[in-house]
């Protein structure tokens, strides 16, 4: 039949179609000739990645499909596309939720990176491990797309029983045939090639289905694992910059110019308005409620004070409490309230005090605490055995409590509505100060905040990782270290100290990192900047704060300045000392390296000199033995001594030092003048910079000597230390602990733990992905082989052709 | 493809052996060797039918179909390819759970604890993604079935006559489980004609659905002609909204799985038994796993919509709102006909063919 039709068509002269001929019915007449519609389908060029134009076009198609489907008119192809679109919408919705839910920026970012890498993994896996190698080897592009006559984009090999191989040109088929190794002299060769392509694609698609499941999550997890660090650094740097800009805008307010600033300003104004509106709603909602302590807490949290400081919060709470009118109780009422609740002698004392000026003022002001204070003192005086401090305080509290209860009982409850005006006014006056301080806190927290993604956290990781990397531990040693086994550490450090290149590299790296740390968190650039900013904020808000909080406002602001500055300096100091301790440790190990020609090490010489001075009675042999012991102990002290060990003057826990030995060790350890650090640093930086960096180390060591190492004779209290040593500066246990810093061993253990976990995880899943990839690639080599039928055809044609 | 009755009779034996769940000894007529809706089976035994279909698909997805596909069998088809989609879905979920849980046993205790907290949530997230996605579709599909009698998931058993391969000329009949409406371009209308399950007439199904749609089917000679486009429209809308809402529900499911109450859920049976013993000694009764899981689920749902952190609270509510909203929109769009006045339904009294115009019969 087809032949007849073809011959009819072929024998007809071609003439332009008349209008009549376009009629469907006419086509079926003998004059119209039945002929197929013009084929509009075509293959699309293959790409590994879609271009943005492709993506935009697809999205446009998806939206059109969505519109059609909503009217109930979509076809199968369009519904399939909607499924993909819905999956992406769902993923974005989920990632957005998790973005909001996660408190930290890194986790927020990782939600989207996780979703993105998952989709990327899903799309790239088959392309890279199956389709690309297969195309290179057999010429069959399994990922081949085509556009059908209706303009729908589809995968050519999706349905193995409906493959439009006709869309391939003769050249394409021949190319595939050559690569597939199809014999050239067999009958119906093109069809054989097409069938092989079809079979190959089916096999590849099946292989894809079998391997895609584990591949996508593995790719995504490993990509996230690798991307976490760079993203973390990016966030850290952005936070450092933006928090500084924000603080600058507070200190030096200027007109907001530039589009970005205007947009930022718009959003911060909108946020402020929303915050105010929420506060108004709270007031309206709780208008008729009685103001109690819980409400005061809620209220003060809504002042923006939570972003400020504890001291500010306390100040606001106190002020809010003072807004509740106090009930004034008369003499008799106070006496009645106390009767039966406290000792009768207290009531007697009160009766005697009634006319006392201070007591009268306190009664007139309804100040229960003041009344209780005066009364307690009078009561105490009347006693034969005077009360101690604690009992006095207890008695005072008890009396005040009884009076307060009586006040509460007799006073009408204060509703929020009745003090609304004062609360609003207070909020208005402190809000500027609170929000500016919140910005200062962001500045502090971006640098030394106790949370992930801060500069201090990242710098800590960088320093510790550089150190552990230099130790060059193998997997087993790392595991042992992660479990708290430190036996290899000393010998590893000895190796580094003895090797000039390794030592130079590590010490330079550490000192540079410390230099960066100082730039961000040093006393000059950071603590004084914080104090300065807090002072400027206070000055700017002085009048408003005074109007809101009264005369105490100035003292409060001063306290807050001290609080934030100390907090900032303390946080920075802890990590700084740990960094210096690492450098110091390395330096001590370096100085302990024996010089050539049987000359004792520099450290041994220093120890010997010091011992000769402090323990002149030691005989030469004993001196040598002691020096050897002290060299070992010096290393041990650097590696593992904690602040308690210093408090105990290293007499216990395996150190067992005598006073002379202790002094010798301390003066030898904290002696930067004898170290070669400066010379080392000068090899890779200017003398000025090297001097600056070593200067920092020296300042730390001097501080250490004064406040920790040289600290009195076994005195554990600060007062004792000052009396014995005559020191005028005071310091506290926290400061000492900060200076001693984290012992190197526990710092290394922590770092090793993190590294070990991360390595273990990466090993399990990295190897899984590598094996999966290898198996998939190997399996790919088995695809597209000759089938039995083809072999037979080949054999037969060989026979025929001789 | 045309087969002689003889071939078909031979194949019935194989067909019998592969179809489990049938009563033994019941003779099959030759007609059973054709595609047939599983309407009655689904109506009488919905759960076992679903299990049978899904079980069959699952087993084949992991065994027969990959074997055929990897060999490059000429009998491999698109249905098999789609059914194999379960493999990456399940293997991917298992890998996802493994990624967050497997390595933690090598970690020291605090790190393992942290990892297991997250791992537990991720594992639950994967499970709840699947459950929420599947169950939520029913929220759009069931009302359509109840109102119009259009079951978009109505399964049918398709009999496949395969091509002989490598000398295999005997076992050439296989079966597949499809849905009558899986293609909106080519729904299996033929399976609804003359189907006794819907009534005695050829068009009983279409008359039944037509009536439910408010069409006066008594006046029509060919109810199918009029009802078919309307069914197609409902199927498309149902599919659209069930798909859109299912992914939002899936996201909501994961969101709920990420709440903190789950951290306290003990999954390890040994620990559970030990805890129960300890509680018993203290004179307290431990919740069984289902009750415990239920309680944690309720707590997590509460936390999801009422998180102490305001942005998280609103984000949770927004996600849940989007899912609920999309489902309701789906119900609204599928259960009410907006196109009534726009002529989407053919006017009952107007003939399908315009008598006044000249007709060409091909």
Count other Cβ atoms within 10 Å, centred on residue A772: 19
Count other Cβ atoms within 10 Å, centred on residue A383: 11
Total domain count, chain A: 4
* Position B136 pLDDT exceeds 90: yes
Boundaries of domain holding A29: 1-36
**Closest-CA residue of chain B to A224:** B99
Contact state of B237 with A70 under an 8 Å Cβ cutoff: yes
Question: Which two tokens mark A646?
Answer: 């210093």
Domain match, A225 and A287 both: no
Tell me the shortest Cα–Cα distance from B203 to chain A, in angstroms. 23
Domain match, A78 and A189 both: yes
Cβ contacts of B318 on chain A, cutoff 8 Å: 97
| Domain residue extents for chain B | 34-259+307-342
Confidence at B143, pLDDT banded by 50, 70, 90: very high
pLDDT in tens, B221-244: 888 899 999 999 999 999 999 999
**Closest-CA residue of chain A to B253:** A94
Count other Cβ atoms within 10 Å, centred on residue A741: 23
Q: Give dist(CA B180, CA B206) in Å, integer.
A: 14
Instruction: Tell me if A639 is assigned to some domain.
Output: no
* Position B2 pLDDT exceeds 90: no
Do the strands B155-161 and A42-43 form a parallel or antiparallel pair, or are they unpaired? Answer: unpaired
Domain match, A145 and A272 both: no
Helices (H), A307-419: 310-323, 331-338, 344-353, 357-365, 368-382, 389-410
* Position A430 pLDDT exceeds 90: no
Q: Torsions phi, psi of A619, nearest 5?
A: -75, 160
Select the highest-mean-pLDDT range: A101-115, A213-227, A310-324.
Answer: A213-227
Contact state of A221 with B99 under an 8 Å Cβ cutoff: yes
Instruction: Tell me if A144 is assigned to some domain.
Output: yes
* Residue A753 three-state SS: helix
Taking only residues 156 to 175 of chain A, the set having a beta carbon closer than 8 angstroms to any beta carbon of chain B reads 158-162
In this structure, of A162-171, A465-474, A550-559, B301-310, the range with the lowest mean pLDDT score is: A550-559
pLDDT at A777: 96
Taking only residues 769 to 788 of chain A, the set having a beta carbon closer than 8 angstroms to any beta carbon of chain B reads 783, 787-788
Q: Give dist(CA A119, CA A585) in Å, integer.
A: 48
Task: Select the residue of B89, B239, B247 nearest A79 (Cβ to Cβ).
Answer: B239
pLDDT at A556: 85
* Position B362 pLDDT exceeds 70: no
* Position B349 pLDDT exceeds 70: no
A764 shares contact with chain B (CB less than 8 Å): yes
Tell me the shortest Cα–Cα distance from B2 to chain A, in angstroms. 18
pLDDT at B51: 95
* Position B63 pLDDT exceeds 90: yes
Instruction: Tell me if A624 is assigned to some domain.
Output: no
pLDDT at A713: 45
> Can you tell me the mean pLDDT for A682-698?
88
Selected residue of B92, B304, B306 to mutate for chain A interface (largest A Cβ count, 10 A): B92
Burial of A502 (0-12, 13-18, 19+ CB in 10 A): middle
> Can you tell me the mean pLDDT for A730-748?
82
Domain match, A101 and A213 both: yes
Going A530 to A536 to A539 to A540, the CA torsion angle's sign is negative
Domain match, A361 and A398 both: yes
Domain match, A267 and A374 both: no
Count other Cβ atoms within 10 Å, centred on residue A166: 9
- Angle between helix axes B109-148 and B310-335 (nearest 10 degrees) is 20
Q: Enter the ipTM.
A: 0.82
Cβ contacts of A214 on chain B, cutoff 8 Å: 91-92, 94-95
Confidence at B338, pLDDT banded by 50, 70, 90: low
pLDDT at A174: 93
Cβ contacts of B237 on chain A, cutoff 8 Å: 69-70, 72
* Position B343 pLDDT exceeds 50: no
pLDDT at B353: 57
Burial of A487 (0-12, 13-18, 19+ CB in 10 A): exposed
Domain match, A292 and A369 both: no
A478 shares contact with chain B (CB less than 8 Å): no
Q: Give dist(CA B68, CA A268) in Å, integer.
A: 62
Cβ-based contacts under 8 A for chains A and B: 175
Domain match, A4 and A32 both: yes
In this structure, of A5-19, A272-286, B63-77, B168-182, the range with the lowest mean pLDDT score is: A5-19
Work out the mean pLDDT of chain A and round it to a whole number: 83
Question: Which two tokens mark B66?
Answer: 């990959």
């Amino acid at each position: 039949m087809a032949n007849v039709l073809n011959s009819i068509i072929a024998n007809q002269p071609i003439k332009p179609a008349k209008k009549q001929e376009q009629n469907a019915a006419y086509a079926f007449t003998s004059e119209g000739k039945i002929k197929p519609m013009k084929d509009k389908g075509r293959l699309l060029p293959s790409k590994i990645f879609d271009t943005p134009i492709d993506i935009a076009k697809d999205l446009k198609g998806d939206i059109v499909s969505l519109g059609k489907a909503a009217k109930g008119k979509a076809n199968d192809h369009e519904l399939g596309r909607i499924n993909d679109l819905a999956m992406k919408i769902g993923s974005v919705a989920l990632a957005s939720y998790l973005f909001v839910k996660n408190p930290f920026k890194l986790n927020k970012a990782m939600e989207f990176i996780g979703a993105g890498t998952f989709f990327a993994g899903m799309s790239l896996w088959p392309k890279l491990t199956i389709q690309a190698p297969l195309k290179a080897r057999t010429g069959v592009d399994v990922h081949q797309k085509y556009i059908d006559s209706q303009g729908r984009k589809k995968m050519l090999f999706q349905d193995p029983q409906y493959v439009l191989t006709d869309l391939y040109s003769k050249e394409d088929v021949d190319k595939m045939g050559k690569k597939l190794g199809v014999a050239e002299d067999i009958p119906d060769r093109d069809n054989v090639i097409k069938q092989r392509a079809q079979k190959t694609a089916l096999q590849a698609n099946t292989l894809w289905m079998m391997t895609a499941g584990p591949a996508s999550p593995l790719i995504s997890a490993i990509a996230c694992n690798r991307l976490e660090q760079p993203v973390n650094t990016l966030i850290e740097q952005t936070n450092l910059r933006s928090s500084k800009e924000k603080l600058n805008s507070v200190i030096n307010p200027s007109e907001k110019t530039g589009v970005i600033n205007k947009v930022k300003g718009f959003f911060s104004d909108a946020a402020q308005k929303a915050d105010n509106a929420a506060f108004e709603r709270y007031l309206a909602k709780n208008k008729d409620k009685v103001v109690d302590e819980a409400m005061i807490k809620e209220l003060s949290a809504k002042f923006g004070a939570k972003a400020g400081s504890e001291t500010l919060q306390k100040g606001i709470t106190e002020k809010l409490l003072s807004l509740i009118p106090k009930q004034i109780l008369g003499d008799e009422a106070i006496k009645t309230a106390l009767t039966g609740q406290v000792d009768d002698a207290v009531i007697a004392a009160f009766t005697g005090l009634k006319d006392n000026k201070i007591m009268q003022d306190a009664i007139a002001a309804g100040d229960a605490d003041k009344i209780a204070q005066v009364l307690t003192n009078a009561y105490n005086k009347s006693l034969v055995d005077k009360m101690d401090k604690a009992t006095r305080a207890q008695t005072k509290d008890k009396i005040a409590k009884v009076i307060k209860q009586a006040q509460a009982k007799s006073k009408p409850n204060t509703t929020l509505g009745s003090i609304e005006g004062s609360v609003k006014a207070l909020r208005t006056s402190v809000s500027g100060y609170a929000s500016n301080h919140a910005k200062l806190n962001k500045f502090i927290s971006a640098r030394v905040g106790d949370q992930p993604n801060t500069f201090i956290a990242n710098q800590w990781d960088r320093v510790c990782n550089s150190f552990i990397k230099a130790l060059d531990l193998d997997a087993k040693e790392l595991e042992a270290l992660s479990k708290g086994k430190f036996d290899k550490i000393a010998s590893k450090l000895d190796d580094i100290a003895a090797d000039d290149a390794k030592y130079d590299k590590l010490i330079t790296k550490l000192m540079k990192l410390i230099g960066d740390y100082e730039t961000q968190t040093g006393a000059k650039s950071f603590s004084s900047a914080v104090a300065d900013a807090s002072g400027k904020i206070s000055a700017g808000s002085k009048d408003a704060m005074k109007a809101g909080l009264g005369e105490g406002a100035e003292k409060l602001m001063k306290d807050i300045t001290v609080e934030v500055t100390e907090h900032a300096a303390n946080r920075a100091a802890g990590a700084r000392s740990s960094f210096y301790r690492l450098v110091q440790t390395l330096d001590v190990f370096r100085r302990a390296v024996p010089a050539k020609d049987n000359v004792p090490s520099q450290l041994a010489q220093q120890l010997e000199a010091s011992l000769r001075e402090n323990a002149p009675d030691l005989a030469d042999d004993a001196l040598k033995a002691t020096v050897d012991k002290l060299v070992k102990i010096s290393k041990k002290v650097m590696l593992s001594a904690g602040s308690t060990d210093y408090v105990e003057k290293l007499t216990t826990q395996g150190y067992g030092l005598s006073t002379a030995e202790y002094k010798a060790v301390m003066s030898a350890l904290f002696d930067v003048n004898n170290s070669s650090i400066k010379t080392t640093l000068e090899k890779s930086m200017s003398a000025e910079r090297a001097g600056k960096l070593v200067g920092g180390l020296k300042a730390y060591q001097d501080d250490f000597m004064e406040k920790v190492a040289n600290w009195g004779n076994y005195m554990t209290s600060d007062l004792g230390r000052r009396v014995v040593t005559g020191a005028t500066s005071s310091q506290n246990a926290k400061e000492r602990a900060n200076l001693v810093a984290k012992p190197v061993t526990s710092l290394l253990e922590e770092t090793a733990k993190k590294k070990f976990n991360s390595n273990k995880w990466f090993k399990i899943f990295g190897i899984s992905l590598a094996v999966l990839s290898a198996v998939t690639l190997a399996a790919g080599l088995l695809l597209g082989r000759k089938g039995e039928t083809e072999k037979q055809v080949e054999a037969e044609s060989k026979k025929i052709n001789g | 493809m045309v087969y002689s009755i003889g071939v078909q009779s031979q194949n019935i034996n194989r067909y019998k052996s592969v179809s489990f769940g049938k009563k033994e000894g019941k003779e099959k007529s030759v007609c059973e060797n054709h595609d047939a809706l599983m309407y009655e089976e689904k109506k009488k035994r919905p759960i076992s039918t679903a299990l049978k279909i899904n079980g069959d698909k699952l087993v084949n997805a992991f065994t027969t179909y990959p074997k055929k596909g990897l060999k490059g069998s000429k009998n491999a088809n698109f249905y098999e390819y789609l059914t194999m989609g379960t493999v990456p879905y399940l293997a991917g979920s298992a890998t996802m759970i493994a990624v967050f849980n497997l390595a933690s046993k090598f970690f020291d205790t605090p790190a393992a604890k942290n990892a297991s907290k997250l791992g537990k949530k991720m594992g639950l997230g994967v499970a709840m993604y699947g459950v929420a996605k599947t169950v939520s579709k029913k929220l759009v599909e069931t009302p359509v079935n109840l109102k119009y009698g259009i079951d978009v998931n109505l399964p049918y058993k398709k009999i496949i006559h395969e091509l002989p391969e490598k000398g295999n000329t005997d076992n050439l009949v296989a079966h597949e489980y499809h849905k009558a409406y899986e293609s909106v371009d080519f729904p299996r209308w033929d399976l609804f004609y003359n189907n006794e399950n819907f009534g005695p007439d050829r068009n009983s199904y279409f008359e039944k659905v037509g009536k439910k749609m408010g069409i006066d089917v008594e006046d029509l000679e060919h109810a199918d002609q009029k009802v078919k486009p309307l069914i197609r429209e409902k199927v498309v809308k149902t599919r659209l909204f069930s798909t859109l809402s299912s992914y939002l529900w899936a996201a909501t499911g994961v969101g709920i799985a990420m709440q903190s109450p789950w951290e306290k859920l003990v999954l390890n049976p040994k620990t559970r038994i030990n805890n129960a013993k300890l509680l018993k000694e203290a004179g307290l009764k431990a919740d069984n796993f289902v009750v415990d899981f239920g309680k944690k689920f309720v707590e997590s749902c509460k936390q999801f919509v009422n998180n102490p952190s305001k942005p998280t609270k609103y984000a949770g509510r927004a996600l849940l709102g989007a899912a609920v909203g999309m489902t309701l929109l789906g119900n609204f769009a599928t259960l009410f006909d907006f196109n009534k006045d726009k002529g989407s339904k053919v006017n009952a009294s107007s003939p399908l063919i315009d008598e006044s115009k000249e007709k060409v019969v091909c």
